[in-house]
């Protein structure tokens, strides 16, 4: 449906951002043992989460003082108090590539624009996407290997399905998909590779500017058309805010869902009795998803910046310091979760987890992510009978410090 000029590749078209994932987000097998050790010293400690857990530094923030928040109560407080713990911490990195994104904004701008974005993610719209977008993508990917009896569920399924859904949401021309994905992924590398991150953001900005102009003239049922025309109390989205949201969409909506679904499958396949329970009773799927997102949420740490001198968890944090708020650590706090390192879909839910953040910046697309994960798991259970890990291949290993995922999930079925 697009007539505007195609997307521009990197000046160096051989640059491959997918190879830099480990260098940017880390390759640690189990950072949580270190997290438990650090938490024993205090719910809030001085230092950068990345380096404290053995990950790579963020070059855009290394010149600033850091504090890491690991305790459940303290994480909840920091995410709720958006006045003291500002999202302006992202101005040092994500703003360089995404621009004026709702991820980097504080109230009142954040509050105003978030209401408009939410118009495009109303329950009736999201439910419709489940039927019209999610199911066809999921089934087309399964069709490629359903008769084979074996597969790698990451490299043949989870790595693709949420991104293909976003391409369809955007009405993206097929010829632009490969370069679009490269640019979108490269933006997240800005803390490791600033030059390529900024180049990617600039080129996506040009691309989306042309797309928005086209959809204003010829609106359809795609997400861009919805956002271009959405308004609340007479307020519409400024073009720079809309472009920033679109730049971030594949990362916030695709990358996290790919990781979350991969973790869900790893947890269930590694615990066959729980997988069998879900296979027999699909009503258990919501709690299986909740447990997967608690156990290995796709994003372990969120960046905030202190707007004033403040004390949190008995530690004094000066104004201007970067505060690494760690939902991944909070979700494994033994004070609130019994045997927190164990994947157990039947655990008693006495405390909520923070897989999508919390407070005023909680993820707008969380309901769509749950629908995508639900429909993906349902289709896999329906179409891949007797699904199990392949005993002749390596077991899945979830790796990373900031964003975690297994590279492979080798399975057999049928």
Which 3 state secondary structure label does DSSP give 388? strand
DSSP H or E stretch at residue 119: helix 109-119
| pLDDT score of 255 | 87
Mean pLDDT of the chain: 92
What is the tens place of the pLDDT at every residue in 36-91?
999 999 999 999 999 999 888 888 998 999 999 999 999 999 999 999 999 998 98
Alpha-carbon distance of 7 to 221, in angstroms, equals 22
Question: Per-residue pLDDT averaged across 174-197, rounded?
Answer: 91
pLDDT tens per residue, range 93-110? 888 899 888 888 888 888
Which of 262-266, 355-359, 408-412 shows the lowest per-residue confidence on average (mean pLDDT)?
Answer: 355-359
Those residues with Cβ within 8 angstroms of residue 365's Cβ, 6 or more apart along the chain or in another chain: 121, 252, 253
pLDDT surpasses 80 at 192: yes
From CA 329, how far away is CA 133, in angstroms rounded? Answer: 34
- Domains of the chain (ranges plus CATH)? 21-412 (1.10.630.10)
Instruction: Output the pLDDT for position 1.
Output: 43
Residue 92: C-alpha distances to residues 58, 96, 178, 201, 203 (Å) = 10, 7, 28, 14, 20
pLDDT value for 379: 98
Q: How confident is the model at residue 221 (pLDDT cuts 50, 70, 90)?
A: confident
Confidence of residue 298 (pLDDT cuts 50, 70, 90): confident
pLDDT computed for residue 303 by the predictor: 95
Query: What helix, strand, coil percent values describe the chain, rounded to 5?
Result: 50, 10, 40
Q: What is the pLDDT of residue 37?
A: 97
- For the chain, percent of residues with pLDDT exceeding 90: 67
pLDDT grade, residue 130 (50/70/90)?
Answer: confident
Q: Is the pLDDT of residue 257 over 60?
A: yes
Residue 2 has pLDDT above 80, yes or no: no
Tens digit of pLDDT for each residue in 306-321?
999 999 999 999 999 9
What's the confidence (pLDDT) of residue 4?
56
Overall average pLDDT of the 276-300 stretch = 95
Q: What is the pLDDT of residue 125?
A: 82
* pLDDT of res. 5: 62
Strands 85-86 and 315-317: what pairing?
unpaired
Split at pLDDT 50, 70, 90, the class of 273 is: very high
* Model pLDDT for residues 156-166, shown as the tens digit of each residue: 999 999 999 99
Q: pLDDT, tens digit, for every residue of 352-380?
A: 999 888 888 888 888 889 999 999 999 99
Helix (H) or strand (E) segment spanning residue 398: strand 398-399
Residue 396 has pLDDT above 90, yes or no: yes
Distance from C-alpha of 178 to C-alpha of 10, rounded to nearest angstrom: 12
């Amino acid at each position: 449906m697009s007539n505007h000029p195609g997307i521009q590749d990197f000046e160096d078209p051989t640059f491959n951002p997918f190879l830099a994932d480990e260098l940017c987000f880390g390759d640690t097998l189990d950072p949580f043992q270190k997290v438990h050790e650090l938490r024993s010293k205090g719910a809030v400690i001085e230092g950068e989460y990345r380096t404290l857990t053995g990950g790579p530094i963020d070059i855009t923030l290394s010149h600033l003082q850091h504090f890491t928040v690991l305790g459940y109560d303290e994480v909840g407080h920091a995410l709720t108090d958006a006045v003291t713990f500002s999202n302006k911490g992202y101005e040092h990195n994500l703003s360089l590539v995404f621009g004026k994104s709702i991820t980097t904004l504080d109230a009142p701008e954040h509050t105003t624009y978030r209401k408009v974005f939410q118009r495009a993610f109303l329950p009736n719209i999201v439910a419709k996407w489940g039927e019209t977008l999610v199911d066809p993508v999921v089934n087309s990917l399964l069709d490629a290997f359903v008769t084979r009896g074996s597969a790698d569920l990451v490299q043949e399924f989870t790595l693709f399905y949420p991104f293909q859904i976003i391409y369809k949401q955007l009405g993206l021309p097929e010829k632009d998909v490969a370069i679009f994905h490269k640019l979108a992924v490269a933006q997240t590398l800005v803390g490791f590779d600033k030059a390529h991150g900024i180049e990617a953001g600039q080129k996506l900005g040009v691309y989306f500017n042309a797309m928005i102009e086209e959809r204003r003239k010829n609106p359809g049922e795609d997400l861009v058309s919805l956002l271009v025309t959405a308004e609340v109390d007479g307020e519409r989205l400024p073009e720079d805010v809309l472009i920033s949201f679109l730049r971030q969409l594949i990362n916030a909506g695709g990358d996290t869902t790919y990781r979350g679904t991969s973790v869900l499958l790893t947890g269930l396949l590694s615990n066959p009795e729980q997988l069998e329970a879900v296979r027999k009773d699909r009503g258990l799927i919501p709690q299986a998803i909740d447990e997967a997102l608690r156990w290995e949420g796709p994003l372990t740490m969120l960046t905030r910046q202190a707007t004033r001198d403040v004390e949190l968890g008995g530690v004094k944090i000066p104004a201007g310091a970067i505060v690494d708020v760690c939902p991944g650590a909070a979700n494994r706090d033994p004070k609130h979760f019994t045997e927190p390192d164990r994947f157990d879909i039947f655990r008693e839910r006495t405390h909520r987890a923070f897989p999508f953040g919390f407070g005023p910046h909680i993820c707008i697309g969380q309901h769509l992510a749950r629908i995508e994960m639900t429909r993906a798991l349902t289709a896999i259970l329906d179409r891949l009978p007797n699904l199990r890990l392949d005993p002749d291949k390596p077991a899945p290993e979830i790796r990373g410090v900031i964003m975690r995922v297994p590279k492979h999930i080798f399975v057999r079925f049928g």
